[in-house]
Structure 1
Amino acid sequence: MTGSMRLTTSGRVSPVRLDLRASADHVLRPFGTTLARVEGRVRVAGLADDPAASGELEISPLAARRIRYRLAFTAGGRRLVLDGWKSITPRHPVRSMTVLPFTLYEDDEPLGTGTLRFRARALPSFLAGFRFPRREDPDALTAARWRGAPGRTEVWYTTVTDPATGTGLWLHHELTAPADGSAAYAHGWAAVFPKGAPVRHARFGPVPWKPEDRGFAADGVRAVPGRLAGAAGAMNWDLTEQPEAAPLFTFPRWSWRRPLLPAAQILPAARATYEGTVRYEDGTLELTGAPGASARIYGHGNARRWSWLHADLGGGDVLEIVAAVSTRPGLRRLPPLVFLRLRRDGRTWPRRPERSAIGWAGALRFRADIGLPTWTVTGRAGLRRIRVTVTQPEDRTLALEYTDPDGARATCRNCERADAQVRLDRWWGRWRPEADWRLDGTAHAEVGTR
């Protein structure tokens, strides 16, 4: 909504703009009252520009004939409240629904009054913004998917950064069902990336696979909801996991439920915190409230080439990228398909995972330049564009080789202390910076080949 406000003290008139997102726990009730949370950006020329405004919205167009906004934001350290009230009337239905008179308060004292209007040109994006979010059970997303088909692989992996020492941690648990129909087996590894010291790692397995409904369990190693524990070589670990965010589907949601793609990846929780102890041959890592995430992969094996990034951007924001070239005939000649999901201020961009991979009829898709020690992803969706540069220093990168279900060898080069630069721009008549993040040794990244 856009409009203007007149300050009580000076009489000055200032342009005002609100970009808001409302979320309710229930579907709107036409003949009742619905309460919703509202958050977004408030801009008052010469006074405020707060991207973290929040408040409440009362929606009662028929029962009480009103729609009321109460929105709190800051302006130069001052806490202000915008209180607006639409009085709905059948005599002027359009005007009463689209015009919002408001008063601006500081400590219950009025600072000014104004009017905001919902413009007709904003209607398409407003209607396209309606969502009926699905509530996913993170525990259900951790359960094993494999049901006996040959030529499949299933992975549970966790990456963590210790905020106290800068040490990175990687726990990888894998089920492999060979394509020749031989018995499925479980294996994996643990790796610690200490700051200023060589990477330490140890493998466990392979051992015969025994189904575990809640997740992964083999050779004394467990990765189940809320718990990661086990031992490998000179390493042992016992961690608790506390989800801090909703699941994130890096690939289209349908691809996890119906495995039509060569593989799919998800995060049962986009962010989580970890507590516990990791012991390795010459050190001990004590984790307290350490940020990280656990992810899942299910498919036919590794891509021909791939890159991956998990970046906790702070403040609840997170970026997940998978860029890959398929091994399937025809697809292997294509450039890497990019699946990029940026969750920022509670919203995920691009709106659909397919958007970054195929664009509109193949145009304007995202692009990846995969290499080492640096790789990049660039792309545009809607009014935003992004550039991500990831650096995996050789001395912080661990190379491991393993076998795919078809017998081919794959090599991953993983770095749990990678650097990343993320630049997000928005189109406002020209491209203008919207956000810029720099991660020094706290990004989790990987480049792999077959």
Structure 2
Amino acid sequence: MSTGGNAEGAGAGPAGAIAAAAATATAVPSTATRSAPGGAGRRGTVFGETMLGTVLLEREDRARRIRLDLRVAADRVMRPFGTTAARASGRVRVAGWADDTHAEGELEISPLARRRIRYRISFTAEGRRFMLDGWKSITPRRPVASLTVLPFTLYEDGTRAGRGTLRFPVATQLPPFLASFRFPRATGSAETLTAPRWQGEPGRTEVWYTTLTDPATGTGLWLHHELVAPADGSEPYAHGWAAVFPKDGPVRHARFGPAGWTPGAAGFRAAGVEAAPGRLTGSAGALRWDLAEQAADAPLFTFPGWSWRRPLLPAAQILPAARASYDGTFSYDGTTLTPTAAPGASARIYGHGNARRWAWLHADLGGGDVLEIVAAVSMRPGLRRLPPLVFLRLRRGTRTWPRRAERSAVGWAGLGRFRAAIGLPVWTVSGRAGLRRIRVEVTQPEDRTIALDYTDPDGSRAVCRNSERAGAHVLLERWWFGGWRTEAEWTLDGTAHAEVGTR
């Protein structure tokens, strides 16, 4: 058992409620279902862009090198004769001064209608927030230069802090830039994907949960909000908890609710606690929080996207934003944390209950890369003795691997499935898809883990052991000219978010 304590009550962990769907993840979606939430189905545009240049800061006499790596996403296909608004996220590096992997902002893409492409990117340097504001002025007299040169001004609180120029290096970056373009089917914004799914059916659970790491202290935070509709048809209720995982000291947690559920809220709202688009507020025992949430990436579907749009499986999970940043306050035991641009993510679950065994990982790998894993053994009779099914999604820049969410779980006709060895304090996942293979080793130290007892809508129980200060080692390799070569490798110490559940 965890030194963090063992609490009684109803609930579903970050992975537990969705993991029950693993045994039927290969089901074929029906067309006779209700429409997708959030207007899903429209095509969007996604691409990556890298620019290099120099910036001269105020009160300095020598320019510094600057590099901008962006992932740009629009909710519609770009219109060359119109104006397209897009979100941008990525990394800003200024030599000897800034390296922010959670930069974010917006683009106005209007090459013909307004003859400009404007960039407004916010980033952090030396604990202060800056805005990079500039635009490419499009002219037919200099088509290449006008599309590749970005003069900009840096601002801090509206005051000019520097000037510079970025350039798109055509010789080296044009091929990857063109290859990065995707036109995915829109899945809805982070705001629309936060809306409640429950339609009044008995035997359902719906979860909103958030995990993040305070960069200043290394403290991990976990906020869990849940709606439960008992299988016996009795009144639904809302409840949840908050937990804090200090770098030094024991894990603390407290519950709120149960309370009545009022339909119609934008997200979760009960017992004085709210999880709404862009805002998380509330209290539980001696724990209090008020956090602003800013999405920094597009939604990520751990399970197939259709399983969220059409609720055919026992459960489904999504991240309305694969990465997000958090600012605000979190208080406990006389200590007040003030997270600033804290990396993390919020996720959503809708389903029937927990799996027989499961493991979950959310890892912000830095540089805009993120890894999400659910591995589970089904509760279905006859399937309980099968190995865990693995759903693994690695997003790097504009691409998510494996390309289809089903690939890691079912392979090709059952061949090539990813494998998981679920245990504590260490569990692993490994597998291969295409020319890449991956091995993930997750460590949940006992003194950084909390154990919670859960009750499903049908009254059955499970135990979840969660750590918001877990460790993880991720090795990604690629087959190249007859051998495996390391493509990327990440090691996280105390910043991975992980969970193991059993019955």
TM-score under structure 1 length normalisation: 0.73
Counterpart residue number, 1:432: 485
Is 1:410 aligned with 2:462?
Answer: yes
Counterpart residue number, 1:216: 268
SS at match of 2:409: helix
Conservation of the 8 A alpha-carbon contact between 1:386 and 1:424: yes
SS at match of 2:205: strand
Is 1:275 aligned with 2:333?
Answer: no
> How far apart are the structure 2 equivalents of 1:258 and 1:26?
24
Residues 135-144 or 377-386, more deviating? 135-144
Counterpart residue number, 2:258: 206
Counterpart residue number, 1:197: 249
Q: Which has the higher strand share?
A: 1
Q: CA deviation at 1:315?
A: 0.8
SS at match of 1:255: helix
Is 1:170 aligned with 2:222?
Answer: yes
Q: CA deviation at 1:83?
A: 4.7
Write out per-residue CA displacement over residues 301-332 of structure 1, whole angstroms, 9 at most, x where no aligned residue.
Answer: 01111100000000111000011111122332
Conservation of the 8 A alpha-carbon contact between 1:245 and 1:269: yes
Is 1:344 aligned with 2:396?
Answer: yes
The counterpart of 1:309, out of the listed 343, 357, 361, is: 361
Conservation of the 8 A alpha-carbon contact between 1:68 and 1:83: no
Name the Cα RMSD after superposition. Answer: 3.1
> How far apart are the structure 1 equivalents of 2:421 and 2:168?
47
Q: Which aligned pairs between 1:16-27 and structure 2 lie closer than 5 A?
A: 26=77
> How far apart are the structure 2 equivalents of 1:82 and 1:239?
39
Counterpart residue number, 2:380: 328
**Measured at CA, do residues 427 and 80 of structure 1 come closer, stay the same or move farther in structure 2, by a change above 3 Å?**
farther
Q: Which letter maps to 2:491?
A: R
Is 1:397 aligned with 2:449?
Answer: yes
Q: Which aligned pairs between 1:222-301 and structure 2 lie closer than 5 A?
A: 222-301=274-353
**Measured at CA, do residues 204 and 361 of structure 1 come closer, stay the same or move farther in structure 2, by a change above 3 Å?**
same
Q: CA deviation at 1:28?
A: 9.2
**Measured at CA, do residues 207 and 254 of structure 1 come closer, stay the same or move farther in structure 2, by a change above 3 Å?**
same
Counterpart residue number, 1:158: 210
SS at match of 1:407: coil
**Measured at CA, do residues 180 and 314 of structure 1 come closer, stay the same or move farther in structure 2, by a change above 3 Å?**
same
Q: Which letter maps to 1:319?
A: L
Q: Which aligned pairs between 1:25-174 and structure 2 lie closer than 5 A?
A: 26=77, 83=170, 131-134=183-186, 136-174=188-226
Write out per-residue CA displacement over residues 161-190 of structure 1, whole angstroms, 9 at most, x where no aligned residue.
Answer: 000000000000011111111111111100
Q: CA deviation at 1:133?
A: 4.0
Please, which runs of 5 or more residues in structure 1 have no aligned partner? 1-20, 32-55, 59-63, 73-78, 85-103, 106-115, 118-125
TM-score under structure 2 length normalisation: 0.66
**Measured at CA, do residues 315 and 370 of structure 1 come closer, stay the same or move farther in structure 2, by a change above 3 Å?**
same
Structure 1: which 4+ aligned runs deviate by more than 4 Å?
A: 21-25, 67-72, 79-84, 128-131
> How far apart are the structure 2 equivalents of 1:132 and 1:391?
35
Counterpart residue number, 1:50: none
Is 1:369 aligned with 2:421?
Answer: yes
Counterpart residue number, 2:87: none
Q: Which letter maps to 1:161?
A: T
Q: CA deviation at 1:426?
A: 0.4
Q: CA deviation at 1:333?
A: 2.7
Conservation of the 8 A alpha-carbon contact between 1:262 and 1:326: no
Write out per-residue CA displacement over residues 2-38 of structure 1, whole angstroms, 9 at most, x where no aligned residue.
Answer: xxxxxxxxxxxxxxxxxxx999974799x9xxxxxxx
SS at match of 1:141: helix
Conservation of the 8 A alpha-carbon contact between 1:159 and 1:171: yes
Aligned residues: 357
Q: Which letter maps to 1:437?
A: W
Conservation of the 8 A alpha-carbon contact between 2:425 and 2:445: yes
**Measured at CA, do residues 362 and 82 of structure 1 come closer, stay the same or move farther in structure 2, by a change above 3 Å?**
same
Q: CA deviation at 1:82?
A: 5.9
Conservation of the 8 A alpha-carbon contact between 2:323 and 2:370: yes
> How far apart are the structure 2 equivalents of 1:378 and 1:301?
26
Larger Rg: 1
